[in-house]
Amino acid sequence: VTIDDIDVCDLNVHSLRDQIGVVSQEPVLFDGTLYENIKMGNETATMDQVIEACRLVSRLFPLLAEQQTCCCDF
């Protein structure tokens, strides 16, 4: 298996794992607060960072319906 023509066996496994994530097809909320659910995967995230992430996502939702939106416009 290669990533950008580099054999994954030649990569630092810890660095590689830090850059890989999973996005489920079904949204799931875990038992806990919204803050805890949102910061999952980044336990050091502050409340301000979580609020900013929510603000940015809320700005993107209207664009999801526009299939021709160019990502370079952000």
Q: Residue type at 4?
A: D
Q: What are the tens digits of pLDDT across the range 3-61?
A: 889 898 899 989 888 888 877 788 777 888 888 888 887 889 999 999 998 888 888 77
Q: Are 51 and 57 in contact (CB under 8 A)?
A: no
Please indicate, yes or no, whether the overall pTM of this predicted structure exceeds 0.75: no
For residue 72, the model assigns a pLDDT of: 65
pLDDT at 67: 62
Q: b vs e for 50-63, b when ≥16 Cβ sit within 10 Å of the residue's Cβ?
A: beeeeeeeeeeeee
Residue the block writes with tokens 């990502």: 71
Structure tokens at 2: 């290669």
Which spans in 1-74 are helix H? 13-18, 34-38, 47-64
Q: Is the pLDDT at 73 greater than 90, yes or no?
A: no
